Amino acid sequence: MPKNGPDTIPLAPGLTAPSRASEPPPETQIVLAFDDNRSASALFGQYGQHIALIERRLGVLADSRGNQVTIAGSRDGCEAARRVLESLYAQALAGHELSTGDVEGAIRAVIAQGSLFDFDPKAIRPAFDEINLRKRPVRARTAAQDAYIRALKRNAMVFGVGPAGTGKTWLAVAHAVQLFERKEVDRIVLSRPAVEAGERLGFLPGDMREKVDPYLRPIYDALYDLMDSRIVERALQSGEIEIAPLAFMRGRTLSNAVVILDEAQNSTTMQMKMFLTRLGENSRMIVTGDPSQVDLPNGQQSGLAEAVRLLDGVEGIARVTFTAEDVIRHELVARIVAAYERAARPPAPPAGS
């Protein structure tokens, strides 16, 4: 486990630590040493990218040499960085392959945890819920993702609403795979509006699966990442994992299944009503979408927006709303989403009006 070097050390009056241009001089310095070199290397990331992300997010300076890291900055920033590094190091020791998403998740967990003096680095991750799969566990990385996983476990129907990159579809597929592996359901049904404003699939070559494959690629990617590829192929061949375009769902009753509707913002009101009423015995339904990316013709209301409004407060139905702060892709994606959200807000009225 990591060892703390010099405890919190204030700088002497009149002295300044090395700092980058335009940054205030650091107030505190902490040194951490990690015993396992391989885990330390995974912790720092390729070319130190994990350390760089911690620097940017927490406003500290971090210098790694060998298996040691020196952190300099404000007292709160240094303490938060220490907790993040110790949490990630514990994961690396356990054999977890760290990604930038894991680093971002650890940072957010520490920020959410606040200033706690009794700190256990292993206690950060379990604070968020997880989905246990045969291939690997899938952990929530933000408070919204945590609420989403809990909602999926407790409700027969869940709406996941928010911008791209927040893990809505990913976690929905992970939950479906978990129920499928536990034999709690017999099959997984994946659906999505296949084209921008309608369901005109006839001009595309191939059978039904080949027609809609391009539109369901994100769900396929999640399946192959969360399950063994041979199991996925076998389940697709046997129909245990079924691709069902939204246009072809009418008249069906889906029992003993997890049914996922992705990109639901592009469904019409009638399509959404039709889809939601397909729910059969011992089934779960997950509806995901981004209300800011509706591709329906002008004047046509999104079925997702209306369903969320009409079903608000209905027992057995949960809604989890994600924001730009929950984006777990490249950090620039969160900034892009936030910029578009700002542009969409009505301008503030001039002062004195």
Residues of the domain holding 80? 3-127
Shared-domain flag, residues 106 and 151? no
Distance of CA 320 to the CA centre of its chain: 12
SS3 101: helix
Shared-domain flag, residues 104 and 176? no
Q: For residues 177 and 155, what is the distance between their CA atoms, to the nearest angstrom?
A: 16
Shared-domain flag, residues 166 and 308? yes
| Whole-Å CA distances, 189 to 149, 168, 197 | 19, 16, 22
Shared-domain flag, residues 136 and 92? no
Residues with pLDDT less than 70, the chain = 1-26, 112-127, 194-213, 215, 329-331, 334, 348-353
351 within domain boundaries? no
184 within domain boundaries? yes
258 within domain boundaries? yes
Structure confidence at residue 282 (pLDDT)? 92
Shared-domain flag, residues 117 and 243? no
Q: What is the sign, positive or negative, of the torsion defined by CA atoms of 135, 153, 240, 220?
A: negative
Residue 71's nearest CA partner among 2, 121, 21, 6 is 6
pTM as predicted: 0.70
195 within domain boundaries? yes
- Out of 107, 127, 147, pick the residue that ends a domain: 127
187 within domain boundaries? yes
Fill in the amino acid letter for 341.
Answer: E
User: By the 8 A CB rule, do 64 and 114 touch?
Assistant: no
Shared-domain flag, residues 8 and 118? yes
Shared-domain flag, residues 256 and 156? yes
For the chain, the helix, strand and coil percentages under 3-state DSSP, each to the nearest 5: 45, 15, 40
Q: For residues 144 and 137, what is the distance between their CA atoms, to the nearest angstrom?
A: 18
Q: Length of the chain, please?
A: 353
Q: What is the CATH number of the domain that holds 11?
A: 3.30.1370.10
User: By the 8 A CB rule, do 76 and 115 touch?
Assistant: yes
353 within domain boundaries? no
349 within domain boundaries? no
- Out of 72, 96, 127, pick the residue that ends a domain: 127
User: By the 8 A CB rule, do 104 and 130 touch?
Assistant: no
Number of domains in the chain: 2
Shared-domain flag, residues 198 and 276? yes
Structure confidence at residue 232 (pLDDT)? 92
Shared-domain flag, residues 103 and 155? no
**Pairing between strand 61-65 and 68-73?**
antiparallel
Tokens of 282: 């011992």
Shared-domain flag, residues 265 and 340? yes
Residue 174's nearest CA partner among 237, 109, 214, 130 is 130
173 within domain boundaries? yes
Given the structure tokens 């009503």, which residue do they identify?
A: 273
- Out of 92, 127, 162, pick the residue that ends a domain: 127
Shared-domain flag, residues 329 and 275? yes
Shared-domain flag, residues 123 and 140? no
